[in-house]
Chains A and B, each alone.
Chain A
Amino acid sequence: MANGTWKIARRSNAQLPLVIVMALAVVLVLLGKAQPGLFDRARMSLTDGMQPVLSVAHAPLVQFDRWIGSVDELFSVYQENLRLKDENARLRQWRNVAVVMQDRVKRYQSLLHAVPDPGVNSVLARVIGRASRPFLETMILDAGSSHNIKAGQAVVDARGMIGRIYLAGSRTSWVILLTDLNSRIPVSISPGNRQAIMVGDNTAMPTLDTLSQIVTLRAGDQIVSSGDGGLLPPGLPIGTVVEQGGKYRVALLADAASSEDVEVLAFRKPPEQLPASLQLPAVAAGLPPATATPPVFTIAPEPPAAAKPAIPTSPPASPADQADEDR
């Protein structure tokens, strides 16, 4: 550096390569739009390779965060204690109500022969990294496809849903948070079981796109996963509706920033099976089961014009056509 400015060595003569490189970069963006998973394998290889380093480096950072948090909480311990006692008393009352209601639901289910909810297996994983980029909110878990984790599975902590698996490497996986720009989750709003899509926009509280125009939202409504699409289990607690600037948003129950141990739910809705033939209504009534026999076409000799066949040789008309004819 001379006189506070850098000495310029020589002027670049790389104009042509610059144009070519810029064109390549544009092509890369277009390719990325057509195939968003272009770099996924490289990403997962890098993250898998860094897993031991991240696991070791994450622990002191967590301790540091806890220490900072504890210093901050020292000034409000008494007030916090009173608030927690009050909340605990109210939660005990609600617990008793929940136990009674659960018992009642079980009895109704047994009376109605309701199909039980499919079981959900889960994998416990530890958060080893978080990335808050301008256009991506993600966390990295220390479990991957070797632990049967697959893309799309729900990630929850003790309080509620955090996000879903975005990429699964062999030993690590990336979680796309509910607040991320790319997050779209089918949810159900209670009371009323109203359906909506929860859309992340990189703010702390995602927005709600209701599927019906006549749905009215109220602050305090509960948001749970609806299970539409069969990838997420229905009924996962997500958050509550809050009004913010005339718009309704979802205050999430889980705090992704402080979650350390999370569960990855391996849920896949089983395909619907046809009932056994003995359970079919016709069989139960003593009738023979209907068998789908292909129509047989025979070429009959041309009859005399006066004696046209009563049974047409053309394929049988559909019930709708038949009904039209009857009319």
Chain B
Amino acid sequence: MSWRSLSVLVPFLCGLFAVLISNLPLSLTNGLIPAPLLALVPIYFWCLVRPDLMTPAAVFGIGILQDVMAGGPPGVWTLSFVITYAVIDRQRDAFAGLPGLGAVLGFATAALITCACAYFIIALYYWQIPLISPIVAELAMTAVFYVPGAYAVGLIHRRMVGPLRSEP
């Protein structure tokens, strides 16, 4: 297997790593502030920049790991990630054209779709309306972590994916 073909795996591995980091059961705030959905950053980034590297199957795999690590009912985050991916994929031109603060708002919109999907799936799953404040806090934290997250995946893209795989 050549280095070039290995570069296909970099976005997927970044997604898995983000899931592992964000789901470590360690907190500096005694659980007061929830961990962000870091896995959404590589999904959003590569879905816009190189969708051939972040395929639906890769998103499905990242979602499954998120479900395993997060500890909730199976499939909730998988389905939420896949739905978000579908929306980003259909609106790529609109999302990718957003500059500066607009880019953060674009990502926040994607995170809102993910969190709203997870909330409604959980509501249907348990057949009761869950408390909304934890998911709002999760959404806010995810949006806040977009800027450093996007910087990190941008760096990985330029240093690892770019040189190994020529841009079409």
Contact = CB atoms under 8 A, between A and B. Distances in A.
Interface of A: 1, 3-12, 14, 17-18, 20-22, 24-26, 28-33, 36, 38-39, 42-43, 46, 50, 54, 57-58, 61, 64-65, 128-140, 174, 181-182, 201-203, 257-258
Interface of B is mostly: helix
Contacts of B86: 18, 22
Given A24-B60, A31-B75, A33-B73, A135 B31 contact: no
Residue among A128, A136, A139 with most chain B CB within 10 A? A136
Contacts of B137: 134
A131 B25 contact: yes
A36 B122 contact: no
Contacts of A24: 60
Contacts of A28: 64, 74-75, 78-79
A174 B82 CA distance: 28
A5 B98 contact: yes
A21 B51 contact: no
A118 to B, nearest CB: 32
Interface in B16-60: 23-28, 30-32, 34-35, 45, 47-52, 55-57, 59-60
B48 A25 contact: no
Given A29-B76, A132-B34, A134-B137, 11 more contacts: A8-B48, A8-B93, A10-B168, A17-B55, A22-B79, A22-B82, A31-B74, A50-B24, A65-B28, A65-B30, A134-B118
B74 A36 contact: yes
A201 B78 contact: no
Nearest to B134: A134
B67 A202 contact: no
A201 to B, nearest CB: 6
What size tier do the contact residues of chain B reach? 35 or more
B114 to A, nearest CB: 11
Nearest to A127: B25
Contacts of A57: 24, 26
A10 B32 CA distance: 42
A3 B97 CA distance: 10
Contacts of B28: 61, 64-65
Contact of B52 (A12, A22, A39, A129): A12
B25 A14 contact: no
A317 to B, nearest CB: 48
A5 B99 contact: yes
Contact of B69 (A6, A46, A132, A134): A46
Nearest 7 CB-CB pairings of A with B: A129-B25, A32-B74, A4-B99, A132-B31, A28-B75, A29-B75, A12-B51
A12 B50 CA distance: 8
Contacts of B55: 14, 17
